[in-house]
């Protein structure tokens, strides 16, 4: 048996934006990027199902309708297949209640952005008029829909599910999210055409660079500056970019695909919905990319949203670097950039291996470094270190600073080898893989970086029994 760890430290959670669950997502093909939205009227057990699928209590579960206010994202895995779930609040299509209108707005965004939909109903209450209304709305989405009849907690209640054929959404799947009854059959159904993890990816050979960041940090302006033309619409209004547009940039004879992150679709959306929509599109862009340029606003400083976007890129094993835009507007002297960089690195914590650039989309100051950094990071991401070099460097470091086990057992690491590239995975063979402490894993990752680089690249360390 082996254990696997991604070398990063979790960043603080933020309740309003829920970037804390930025965990894996999206794409048009049914692979690990598939996103599935859970939709239903209030109090049918959506969050309970979400928690059951993820195997953790991330959503707040309560009998009071409307408890789930913000959309939450979670990375799930079933039978070797990864996908992303979106938990939504209770959907009430015609309500004029301000709170329910906000929930409806975000649920509609989830429907628009999802690859498929899980429609949850309450088997103990039968079909209610609101269920019929929601079913009609979902049919118009033309997305694959899985009808889930919840609260069927015993075989005696199975006949209750038959009534829901009347919704015209195919065969209902009877489950009990609370008890976990028939959740396996449900997951088999919704993942039937998702590819298993590790399947060959048909990604094109050109480098795909995602320009990501919070709304209104200048992402589209940077794309325009790189392309030398007004390919994107740019205004001071956050969320102007409506659809993701890929652009091809030719750089010293090499083609690079620039992925701009789309913003909000409709002006009527609230600020909260804008953030939610931006989150979805950021995730989509990251999942299609090889490397992410995470754009910060030099005038606003660094906040939790910036850091969670960085976290999202690294959790997906994308190469990444920081682009501090609007640097021309900062009053500065010869020490300003260094001081600013020190602040960013302190906020990045264990992610301080990311390159940091200071640029201006308006004046085009140093923007060519964005492309150069992307190519360098991708080269690091593709790097393979020979087994002999790894052992020559790491085994002496391990002997000098051996791991301390939390038990009387002594941990002995005997052999190191790199398993793969893009992204890099390094295996350590030892007698007690599960006892290697997190702090020592970080020590090994730092030692790898000190000797072999991997600048801007998240490392995965795998510990296997010798």
pLDDT one digit per residue (tens) for the chain, 466 residues: 444 443 333 333 323 333 333 333 233 333 446 889 898 888 899 889 988 888 754 444 444 444 334 446 677 888 888 887 888 777 777 666 665 666 667 677 778 778 899 999 999 999 998 899 888 888 888 889 999 999 999 999 999 999 999 999 999 999 999 999 999 999 999 988 887 764 444 455 789 999 999 888 989 899 889 988 644 444 444 544 444 457 888 888 888 988 877 543 444 444 555 566 667 778 778 888 999 999 999 999 898 889 989 998 998 899 999 999 999 999 988 899 999 999 999 999 999 999 999 999 999 999 999 999 999 999 999 999 999 999 999 999 999 999 987 788 889 999 999 999 999 999 999 999 989 999 999 999 999 999 999 999 999 999 999 7
Output the pTM of the full model.
0.62
Q: What is the CATH number of domain 387-465?
A: 3.30.300.20
Pick the CATH number of 30-190 from 3.40.50.2000, 3.10.20.30, 1.20.120.140, 3.40.50.300: 3.40.50.300
- Whether the Cβ atoms of residue 88 and residue 103 lie closer than 8 Å to each other: yes
Cβ–Cβ < 8 Å for 398, 463: no
Token duo for residue 158 = 């199975």
- The span from the CA of 193 to the CA of 232, in Å, is 35
- Rounded-to-integer distance, Cα 352 and Cα 322, Å: 10
Written as one string, the DSSP assignment of 11-76 is PPP-TTT-GGG------SSSSTT-EEEEE-STTSSHHHHHHHHHTS--S---SSTT---S-EEEEE
Domain locations in the chain as residue ranges: 30-190, 207-381, 387-465
**Angle between helices 304-315 and 336-348 in degrees, nearest 10:** 60
CA dist., res. 310 & res. 295, Å (int): 10
CA–CA gap between residue 189 and residue 172 (Å, rounded): 11
Q: Quick one: CATH architecture of 207-381?
A: 3-Layer(aba) Sandwich (3.40)
Q: CATH topology of 30-190 equal to that of 387-465?
A: no
Element (H, E) at 449: helix 438-452
Structure tokens at 298: 């030099």
User: Could you tell me which of 295, 442, 300, 319 has the C-alpha nearest to residue 377?
Assistant: 319
């Amino acid at each position: 048996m082996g254990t696997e760890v991604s070398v990063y430290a979790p960043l603080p959670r933020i309740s309003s934006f829920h970037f804390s669950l930025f965990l894996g997502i999206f794409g048009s093909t049914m692979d690990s990027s598939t996103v599935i939205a859970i939709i239903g009227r209030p109090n049918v057990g959506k969050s309970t199902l979400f928690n059951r699928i993820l195997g953790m209590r991330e959503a707040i579960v309560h009998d009071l309708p409307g408890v789930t206010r913000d959309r939450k994202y979670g990375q799930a895995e079933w039978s070797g297949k990864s996908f992303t779930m979106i938990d939504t609040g209770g959907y009430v299509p015609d309500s004029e209640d301000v709170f329910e209108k906000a929930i409806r707005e975000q649920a509609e965004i989830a429907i628009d952005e999802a690859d498929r939909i899980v429609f949850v109903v309450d088997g103990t209450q039968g079909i209610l008029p609101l269920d019929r209304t929601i079913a009609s709305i979902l049919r118009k989405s033309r997305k694959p829909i899985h009808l889930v009849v919840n609260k069927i907690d015993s075989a005696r209640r199975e006949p209750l599910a038959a009534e829901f054929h009347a919704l015209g959404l195919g065969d209902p799947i009877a489950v009990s999210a609370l008890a976990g009854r028939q959740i396996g059959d449900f997951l088999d159904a919704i993942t039937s055409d998702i590819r298993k993890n590790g399947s060959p990816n048909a990604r094109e050979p050109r480098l795909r660079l995602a320009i990501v960041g919070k709304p209104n940090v200048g992402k589209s302006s940077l794309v325009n500056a790189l392309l030398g033309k007004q390919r994107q619409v740019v205004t001071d209004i956050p969320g102007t970019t409506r659809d993701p547009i890929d652009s091809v940039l030719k750089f010293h004879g090499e083609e690079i695909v620039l992925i701009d992150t789309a913003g909000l679709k409709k002006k009527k959306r609230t600020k909260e919905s804008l953030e939610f929509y931006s989150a979805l599109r950021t995730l989509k862009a990251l999942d299609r990319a090889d490397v992410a340029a995470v754009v910060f606003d030099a005038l606003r400083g660094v906040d939790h949203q910036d850091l969670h976007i960085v976290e999202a890129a690294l959790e997906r094993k994308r190469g990444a670097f920081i682009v501090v835009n609007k640097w021309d507007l900062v009053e500065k002297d010869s020490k300003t950039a260094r001081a600013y960089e020190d602040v960013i690195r302190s906020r990045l914590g264990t992610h301080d291996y990311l390159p940091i650039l200071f640029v201006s989309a308006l004046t085009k100051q140093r923007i060519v470094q964005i492309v150069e950094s992307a190519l360098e990071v991708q080269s690091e991401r593709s790097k393979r270190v020979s087994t002999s070099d790894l052992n020559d460097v790491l085994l002496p470091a391990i002997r000098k600073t051996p791991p301390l086990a939390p038990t009387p057992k002594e941990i002995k690491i005997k052999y190191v080898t790199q398993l793969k590239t893009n992204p890099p995975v390094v295996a350590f063979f030892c007698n007690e893989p599960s006892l290697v402490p997190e702090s020592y894993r970080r020590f090994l990752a730092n030692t790898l970086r000190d000797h072999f680089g991997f600048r801007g690249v998240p490392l995965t360390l795998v510990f296997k029994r010798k």
